[in-house]
Structure 1
């Protein structure tokens, strides 16, 4: 039992304590919780280490260190320890992402050593809803994508990712990992699209799933079809699937400068409950 404040890499024996920390904010922690529920705390299965901060002998904060660096319920003391560990180990992640305040603190400590970043998005509203849209009817043409439609969906996913993140997901390994992730979402029934004449004109996925919440991601409308309300009726349809079949709360986070998207999400019932921050390398 650690009786003084300290940080260490968690192991499978710490699973219950880690889940208790994640449960303190099930919406903000949905991404990491979904991974831990599937993979536990074994670094090989989890795709990274889970760092824990102990105060008074109790696990109080964590940080997921994998493809993303994600502070979890992190106090200023914990952020100082996580920042020092990350500085010593060197940058291995492609982004830092998490609740805005601790992520900003973590980046301030790492920027002198890891910077400059390719882009910093300091305020990304975190939005949730528990109810189906009251005034927007769901698009009846939005449905789950079938496995034999992967070739139709993948170009839309690549276009969305490149537009949103600024780099292609096909770089590096030729897109093998990204294609595998898209295939997983399709095979588990969590990829949705409106497909017309062999073309995806709207799409979205349910990425992270826990028993408390699910996180919608990858919302995209084909450029030639924007401005016609497809995002609103499409999101209304996805919400019907999400809240009926997946979890009692749906969440997402969005760039603060994307005013049309924020307005569309508000119209289908989402409200802001917090903010994320992302640092992209």
Structure 2
């Protein structure tokens, strides 16, 4: 497993993150087994959010971690806040309350990284700054970042928040390539040339913000996995051929495609199966050539100018 310095903050985490959104579907002993399987592969990064399973995912993780030999200080735990029932909320009170709840459920004194989950258009940047200051000063949050934010939103926050924004979670994968499409289609009439995210990829690279791709094996907006899907036959055939060559699974090759990008992204995988964790972790060992990267991009239905 490879490890990266997240956002140049000094916080080191595995290049592959285990997403914990569906832990509420597992029994506590199954969660403990999943944590152990991740540790065995070298995965040290775990991604949560206060809303996952209505808080039950954090709760089960906290209880299960205590039943394993994995030490809290040897892993990186991040969580997210800001999504409420029918609206978004970046108020200082909600951020503080959310973190307190996450700490209680996770059975920990601190989270390594707190992300703002979805942009709140009613955000008062000074409130976010005040909440971050309180939480970081108290040692309850060590680093901060965002999720699903464009460069203009990042600039607004950075003008008020004293702590560096070290990460930005954005949807990206072989069947959701918007993050790279516009940069590949500059000055063309192709639909991919439309800039929909304000140049988030280049902005994050320029400012040393680690991109954490989510729903990496999904197509559309969480419409389901593209692996084995008949609408993505060409892509699945290409992934299968490469997987056979490198003795890995198509899923691992799909994650290796993300890791091949020089932005040094940190993809979040969402499996709940220990065996699949081990299979996908192989992605960190797979080196794809430039030609193979572009071949997979085209196999996913994308055109090059």
Q: TM-score range by the shorter chain?
A: 0.3 to 0.5
Q: More helix by proportion, 1 or 2?
A: 2
TM-score by length of 2: 0.34
TM-score by length of 1: 0.36
Q: Considering Cα pairs closer than 8 Å and 6+ residues apart, tell me whether 1 or 2 has the greater RCO.
A: 1
